[in-house]
Amino acid sequence: MSSQSVFPSDAVSLVESHLREVPDFPAPGVLFRDITPLIADPQAFKVLIETIAERYRGQVDAVAGLESRGFILGAPLAIEMGVGMLTVRKGGRLPGPVVGVDYDLEYGSARMELQPFTVADGQRVLVIDDVLATGGTANAAFELIERAGGVPTRLCVLIELRELGGRERLAGREVDAVLTY
């Protein structure tokens, strides 16, 4: 783990101590960072959400969660900050009208969609997810929010996997990670 988190060291330790590292999931060679122990611990989950909310309170008008683990973090965060929740979903799951973007992952491709009518013009949006890997998913979310008329101010993730280059793919975007590997 590297240091330099923009979050307090207590929050970094909290995430680190509640993570499961699962080798070869969902495919051989992938070390999967599993946040389920963290969200299953009511005290840890509450403190984490409060800590993240503290950093962005008053600076954003909405939270956009990225399907599906970003929803788990985004919904309580939106309530804690008193703003609305936007859902950036995998292709084909939202009733239209939607804006969509196709993008490449490490292996294969994917599509994310957003209902533009959920985004107010000029609305400042915090994008939230559990993991930043190649950055394809987050990059798609930034593009969709902009196409819908919003202003994606930054990405917040619990875990950044540095060697997968997400930060470079998101060049010019603000990225905050609680924990970086």
Ligand X SMILES: O=P(O)(O)OC[C@H]1O[C@H](OP(=O)(O)OP(=O)(O)O)[C@H](O)[C@@H]1O
Ligand Y SMILES: Nc1ncnc2[nH]cnc12
28 or 82: whose CB is closer to ligand X? 28
- Choose, by CB under 6 A, the member of 1, 6, 20, 31 that binds ligand Y: 31
Least distance (Å) from ligand X to the CB of residue 121? 26
- Contact letters for ligand Y, residues 80-119 (x by CB under 6 A): ----------------------------------------
Residue 80 touches ligand X, criterion: CB under 6 A: no
Using CA atoms, how far residue 103 sits from 2, 91, 100, 109, 135, in Å, is: 29, 11, 10, 6, 10
| Residue 49 CB coordination number (10 Å) | 20
User: Is the Cβ of residue 23 or residue 122 nearer to ligand X in the bound state?
Assistant: 23
CA distance 175 to 167: 7
Residue 129's binding partner out of ligand Y, ligand X, none, with CB under 5 to 8 Å set by partner kind: ligand X
Residue 74 CB-half CA count within 13 A: 26
Closest among 57, 68, 178, 69 to 126, alpha carbons compared = 57
Q: Considering the complex, what minimum distance in angstroms separates the CB of residue 119 from ligand X?
A: 19
CB contact at 8 A, 113 and 89: yes
Using rule CB under 6 A, residue 123 touches ligand X: no
- Any contact of residue 74 with ligand X (CB under 6 A)? no
Stretch of residues binding ligand Y (CB under 6 A), selected from 5-13, 27-35, 83-91, 92-100 = 27-35
Separation between Cα atoms, residue 179 and residue 35, nearest integer Å: 12
Q: Which amino acid makes up residue 84? A: G
Q: Which residues bind ligand X (CB under 6 A)?
A: 66-69, 105, 129-138, 166
